Structure 1
Amino acid sequence: MSEAYITRITKFLPNESVSNEEMEEYLGYINGKPSKSKAIVLRNNGIKNRFYALRKDGTPTHTNAEMAALAVQDLFKNNPAEIGEMDLLSCATSSPDQLMPSHGSMVHGYLPQADSIEVVSPSGVCCAGMHAFKYAYMAVKLGEKQKAVACASERLSTVLRSDQFEDEIQQLTRLEKNPFLAFEKDFLRWMLSDGAGAFLVEPAPNKEGISLKIDWIEGCSYANEIEACMYMGADKLEDGTLRSYKDFTAEEIQERSVLSIKQDVKLLGEKIVKLGFAKLRDILLKRGVTIADVSYFLPHLSSYFFEGKIDEFFRENGMPIPKEKWYTNLVTKGNVGAASIYMMLEEVFNSGALKKGEKILLAVPESSRFSYMFCLLTVC
Structure 2
Amino acid sequence: MKEVYINKLAKFLPNEVVSNDEMESYLGKINDKESKARRIVLRNNGIEQRYYALTKEGKPTHTNVQLTAEAIRQLYDADFKPEDMELLSCGTSSPDYLMPSHAVMVHGELKSGQTEINSSAGNCCAGMNAMKFAYLSVKSGSTSNAVCTGSERMSSWMIADHFNKEVDNLKELEEQPIIAFNKDFLRWMLSDGAGAMLLENEPKGDLPLKIEFMEGYSFAHEIETCMYAGGDKLEDGTLKSFSDYTSEEWLTKSIFAVKQDTKLLDKYILDKGVEGIQMAMAKHNITPDDIDFLLPHVSSHYFVEELYQKLIVAGIEFSREKWFLNLKTIGNVGAGSVYIMLQELVASGKLKKGQHIMLCVPESARFTYAYAYLTVC
Q: Aligned with 1:125: secondary structure?
A: coil
Taking the aligned partners of 1:369 and 1:123, their CA distance within structure 2 comes to 13
Could you tell me which amino acid in structure 1 is paired with residue 114 of structure 2?
S
The answer for the alignment partner of 1:45 in structure 2 is 45
CA-CA distance at 1:80 after TM superposition: 8.4
Quick check: 2:186–2:260 contact (8 Å CA) kept in 1? no
Quick check: 2:165–2:252 contact (8 Å CA) kept in 1? no
Cα deviations by residue, 1:98-149 (Å, 9 ceiling, x for unpaired): 111110010001112x221100101100000000000010000011111200
The answer for the alignment partner of 2:127 in structure 1 is 129
In the superposition, relative to structure 1, how do residues 374 and 166 fare at CA in structure 2: closer, same or farther (>3 Å)? Answer: farther
The answer for the alignment partner of 1:211 in structure 2 is 208
Q: Aligned with 1:165: secondary structure?
A: helix
What is the TM-score normalised by the length of structure 2? Answer: 0.94
Could you tell me which amino acid in structure 2 is paired with residue 83 of structure 1?
P
Question: Among residues 224, 227, 240, which one is paired with 2:224 in the alignment?
Answer: 227
- Can you give the 5+ residue segments of structure 2 that lack an aligned partner in the other structure? 168-179
Taking the aligned partners of 1:25 and 1:335, their CA distance within structure 2 comes to 19
Cα deviations by residue, 1:306-356 (Å, 9 ceiling, x for unpaired): 111210111111211111110111101110010000000000112222000
Question: Among residues 335, 342, 345, which one is paired with 2:342 in the alignment?
Answer: 345
CA-CA distance at 1:167 after TM superposition: 9.8
The answer for the alignment partner of 1:251 in structure 2 is 248
Q: Which 4+ stretches in 1 moved above 3 angstroms?
A: 166-169
Taking the aligned partners of 2:148 and 2:119, their CA distance within structure 1 comes to 10
Could you tell me which amino acid in structure 2 is paired with residue 99 of structure 1?
L
Question: Among residues 181, 187, 190, which one is paired with 2:188 in the alignment?
Answer: 190
Q: Aligned with 1:238: secondary structure?
A: coil
Q: Aligned with 2:311: secondary structure?
A: helix
- Can you give the 5+ residue segments of structure 1 that lack an aligned partner in the other structure? 170-181
Cα deviations by residue, 1:186-243 (Å, 9 ceiling, x for unpaired): 221111000100000000111x411000000000101111111000000111111100
In the superposition, relative to structure 1, how do residues 80 and 57 fare at CA in structure 2: closer, same or farther (>3 Å)? Answer: farther
Taking the aligned partners of 1:167 and 1:98, their CA distance within structure 2 comes to 22
1:23 is aligned to 2:23: yes
Could you tell me which amino acid in structure 1 is paired with residue 43 of structure 2?
R
Quick check: 2:354–2:376 contact (8 Å CA) kept in 1? yes
CA-CA distance at 1:185 after TM superposition: 2.0
State the number of aligned residues. 365
Taking the aligned partners of 1:251 and 1:51, their CA distance within structure 2 comes to 32
What is the TM-score normalised by the length of structure 1? Answer: 0.93
Taking the aligned partners of 2:184 and 2:121, their CA distance within structure 1 comes to 25
The answer for the alignment partner of 1:10 in structure 2 is 10
Quick check: 1:30–1:168 contact (8 Å CA) kept in 2? no
CA-CA distance at 1:50 after TM superposition: 0.4
Could you tell me which amino acid in structure 2 is paired with residue 26 of structure 1?
Y
The answer for the alignment partner of 1:176 in structure 2 is none
CA-CA distance at 1:183 after TM superposition: 6.4
